[in-house]
Chains A and B, each alone.
Chain A
Amino acid sequence: MTILTRIKQINFKKISWRAILGNIKGFLGVIWRMMAFFVLLFIFLFKKFNLWFGKLPKIRNVWHFFQEKTGGFFKPFSKRLTVVVDKIDYSFGRRKTRRTFLINLAFSNLMLKKSRTLMTVLGMSIGVGAIVFLLSLGYGIERLVIKQVATLEEMKIIDVSAGDNTSLRLNRHVYEKIKEFREVQEVIPIVSVVGKLTYNKATMDVVVYAVPKKYFDFSHSKLIKGEFFASGAGVEQSRILPPDLRGKVAGVEFQAEEGEYLKKIAPEKVSFNILPGERAKVFAECNVSAKMLGYTVRSEGGYQGEWIYGSSFYPNKQERVIIDKKRNIYLGRWLRGYFPLYQVGLDGDLKQDMGDGERQSWVEGCIPEREVEVNVPLRLGGVLGEATEAGTFTSDSASGSSTLFETVTVASSAGGLEVVTLQATSSAKLQQNIVEFKAPVSGQVVVSSGLLNLLGIPWEKIEGTEFTLSFVLVKNLMPEIEGRATTTEVAYKVIGVIDDENSSYLYIPFADLYNQSITGFSQMKVVLAKKEDLEKVRKEVETMGFKTSSVVDTVSQIENLFANIRIVLSLLGFVALAVASLGMFNTLTVSLLERTREIGGMKVMGVVAEEVEDLFLAEAMIMGLAGGVGGLIIGSLAGKLVSLIFSLIAFAKQGIFMDLTYTPPFFIIFIICLSFIVGVITGVYPAVRAKRISALNALRYE
């Protein structure tokens, strides 16, 4: 209570460490006493409240039940509460006036002038209520706006894209890596391409998203008709291969070779060379998703290396599909060895990669068997047990390589259509090329309602409407192609419609595109278990070099905007509060003047200055606190009223009550503290004045 006097007592000229320590100690003591006083005041008000509650006819039973549940601790005069109060009270000194008594007295003083106290508290309530009303409106509208922008689920999602960095690709490796993060619940890959949609003989370009089924669980999309596709295919389950390799799939006959990822095709080294005039890409691993180190060209002496099954690549020149039955993926043939490294210069020509030194760097790497001729080692049959099989392989490969230089070779299966496509040899010629669409295809599509309008499909006939699609694939998705390639047309049937009038796009199952030997994704949605981890995971993904975005960005912009609005609103509210606290100040001062004689009399009886100060502070605090509680009630009632009126006016059609206000729990605590502090501040001056009243005033008054 005596902070002011203590500050005055500090002699600034003679500050010594001991004095400072003493002052700090004293200051802490004052703080402790203040807090103890607050606690006592709270307990006192609680008791009053409790008694009052216990008297109310209907609430009484509930209240008693609550008291029983809490072990009777909160019973107004429970022993334990009394013990707590005594403990705190006696910390002021055992032989001193109990603070509880002063608080009690303050309350009686306030109750003596009931109407005046009530008016003052009402004034405070209106002041505090103004703040509560304005700010809860601010919070409420912000919440409504954010709700429009994003659902709670979406706040947990990070959109990852490759961004401007073209050397980085989103692929299965990245997918696996992100999925391993502890905070990540789900990673959803998305491939978005431009599709050419043909319906009723008219062709148009639409955006096609190839998404796994679970994508819909986390997106905002609302289905207004039909259903989402049933296929749960994602990265793991994609590239589903026909169970019988030589059987019929989707009505098409199939011929396939069986291999195993990263297994050697021939047990010993093979010699090979790059075809004249060609450049071969060198990858760090036998996988097109791996880092590309550079290029290499034909060498006079040829190369030696391992012949290995790696990831499938495009364009593939093999006659037959190679599949890994165990992993359920397509494979391609690769060569691993040491290669002199070249890089593409500014003019497009190859330059020797000098690395750091003066000699050309040689690296160990993998090149896809494409711009390569392989000399198949001749082995004696019977030396190795698997000779026959190996022989079959090699002869196949040999024939493959001998025809490599030819242009397109279509796999000669019965249908002649669905088997892996074989393409032109020169990469320069790949641009604008047409690629065969690989089976199987789901044929299911979910469209946006905007697209339906564009196509002019009548509402009743939506489900089952068929159209054909072909997809434009780009280098990002398929590192092997230069420029773009278009797939052949495939038939699709509409199974569902999404509510989005404003834009036209469609969804197809992820597997449909992924099966086209696509290695890259356009985007990934990373779903987190908790939204608190968002920033952390974002940072981690960004350090991997990818661009991230999240609806949280928009939300935080909105939050910023509303934080500013709230500042303005709270300024308005504080004006009202300032006026109200002037009123309270006035009441306290008047009541002080009225009671000059009484206070003098109390001092004659031995009440000390500090106790008088505490008495007045207690009165101010009780009024402030009551004003805070009243303000919360008035403010939120006003908020509800305004919400009701707005709902009636603006949303009359929908007939829904829309709550425009929202009061966060911390805000309630803040308001209570604020009103308490306002009480203390307005109480300080009257309290100090009361403290200075001389006892003689009482005796001379006559």
Chain B
Amino acid sequence: MSQKILIEIKNLKKSFLMKDKAVEVLKGINFKVYQGEFVVIFGPSGCGKSTLLNILLGLEAPTEGEVYYEGKDFYSLTEDERAFYRRHHVGMIYQQPLWVSSLTVAGNVSFPLYLLGLPEEEIEKRTAKILEMVEMSARKDFVPTEISSGQQQKVSLARALAIDPILIVADEPTGNLDTLSGYQLVKTFTKLNEEEGKTIIMVTHDLEYLRFGTKIVHMIDGQIVEEYFPKRRKELPSNFKGYKKSINGQSEINVRDPDLLKKLKL
């Protein structure tokens, strides 16, 4: 790909101390995110997806390895500088939206805009526009916890999009949603990716949504075991229907560690 590399992760390791014993959660991860990609990371619970995401966002420092944003070593920056990067360039959506409880729907959506120090009128304009876009204008004066989780996730998306980010990070955004709402949300991601060229990193364990990604990353036990680049959307290889299928080494599927897969009896 001739596209610009947005994020590059090199030999990323992370271990936690648990009862005086170091538990390695990430065991040397290398991968790149190009601008305009829709990366879907999937894997079983406890495989280190969320830890990877946290490190990616600059929330916790890796034990080893580096994260580069646009060629810059992210962890050479201070915590505040990383926070500034996030507030200016990254939109986030979590399974459980992190609401500021004292603010209304509109207030929460405009929150990241206030962090940018924008003028009041502009904030109001942009908030109204983005709420219109996610069809939540009617709920703008509600307290976020009063509306349904599907609606909440829409607002959450609106909040993530408010700052017009270059990167959207979604950690199991469909976790709390019914199938239809989840599907709609991911459809929106796709639309954003295709029409506005947003780079999206989505973590999920719902295989249903794998087919929306332009790059699919399979993680097991702190390692990336396979990467797949579907040529077209919604096209998944027949041998990529789950972890149970063996992988034949097709060209598009980048099997990182066949031995490991065998060992795991996949």
Interfacial residues, chain A to chain B (CB-CB below 8 A)? 93-98, 101, 105, 108-109, 111-112, 595, 597-598, 600-610, 694-696, 698-699, 702
Interfacial residues, chain B to chain A (CB-CB below 8 A)? 50, 54, 57, 59-60, 79-80, 83-88, 90, 92, 94-96, 98-103, 107, 111-112, 114-117, 171
Which 10 pairs across A and B sit closest by C-beta, in order of nearness? A606-B87, A601-B98, A108-B102, A606-B86, A112-B102, A101-B114, A608-B80, A109-B102, A606-B83, A97-B115
Residues of B within 8 A of A608 (CB): 79-80, 83-84
Quote the shortest CB–CB distance from A301 to chain B (angstroms).
Answer: 106
Is the CB–CB distance between A95 and B117 below 8 Å?
A: yes
Is the CB–CB distance between A607 and B102 below 8 Å?
A: no
Cα separation A608 to B79 with both chains bound (whole Å): 8
Cα separation A517 to B209 with both chains bound (whole Å): 122
Cα separation A98 to B116 with both chains bound (whole Å): 8
Is the CB–CB distance between A96 and B101 below 8 Å?
A: no
Is the CB–CB distance between A699 and B101 below 8 Å?
A: no
**Which of B90, B115, B116 neighbours the largest number of chain A CB atoms within 10 Å of its CB?**
B115
Is the CB–CB distance between B98 and A698 below 8 Å?
A: yes
Residues of B within 8 A of A109 (CB): 102
Pick the residue among B50, B86, B102, B107 that contacts A111 (CB under 8 A).
B102
Residues of A within 8 A of B79 (CB): 608-609
Cα separation A64 to B103 with both chains bound (whole Å): 31
**Which of B57, B92, B94, B114 neighbours the largest number of chain A CB atoms within 10 Å of its CB?**
B114
Cα separation A694 to B61 with both chains bound (whole Å): 12
Is the CB–CB distance between B98 and A597 below 8 Å?
A: yes
Is the CB–CB distance between A603 and B99 below 8 Å?
A: no
Cα separation A105 to B117 with both chains bound (whole Å): 14
Is the CB–CB distance between A598 and B101 below 8 Å?
A: yes
Is the CB–CB distance between A98 and B54 below 8 Å?
A: no
Known: A598-B98, A605-B87, A605-B98. 10 other contacts (CB 8 A): A105-B102, A595-B101, A597-B98, A601-B98, A601-B99, A602-B98, A605-B111, A606-B88, A696-B59, A696-B60
Cα separation A108 to B108 with both chains bound (whole Å): 12
Residues of A within 8 A of B87 (CB): 605-607
Pick the residue among B84, B92, B100, B116 that contacts A105 (CB under 8 A).
B100
Using A108-B103, A609-B79 as known contacts, say yes or no to A604 and B57 having CB atoms under 8 A apart.
yes
- Considering the complex, give the chain B residue whose CB is closest to the CB of A698: B98
Cα separation A96 to B117 with both chains bound (whole Å): 5
Residues of A within 8 A of B86 (CB): 604-606
Residues of B within 8 A of A108 (CB): 102-103, 107
Is the CB–CB distance between A98 and B114 below 8 Å?
A: yes
Sample 14 A-B pairs with CB under 8 A, ordered by A number. A96-B117, A101-B114, A111-B102, A112-B101, A601-B99, A602-B98, A604-B98, A606-B87, A606-B115, A607-B87, A607-B115, A608-B83, A609-B79, A694-B60
Residues of A within 8 A of B54 (CB): 696, 699
Quote the shortest CB–CB distance from A602 to chain B (angstroms).
Answer: 7
Cα separation A698 to B99 with both chains bound (whole Å): 10
Cα separation A609 to B86 with both chains bound (whole Å): 14
Quote the shortest CB–CB distance from B239 to chain A (angstroms).
Answer: 34
Pick the residue among B85, B99, B114 that contacts A97 (CB under 8 A).
B114
Residues of B within 8 A of A602 (CB): 98, 100, 111
Quote the shortest CB–CB distance from B126 to chain A (angstroms).
Answer: 15
Residues of A within 8 A of B84 (CB): 606, 608
- Considering the complex, give the chain A residue whose CB is closest to the CB of B86: A606
Residues of A within 8 A of B85 (CB): 606
Residues of A within 8 A of B117 (CB): 93-98
Quote the shortest CB–CB distance from B202 to chain A (angstroms).
Answer: 16
Cα separation A598 to B144 with both chains bound (whole Å): 13
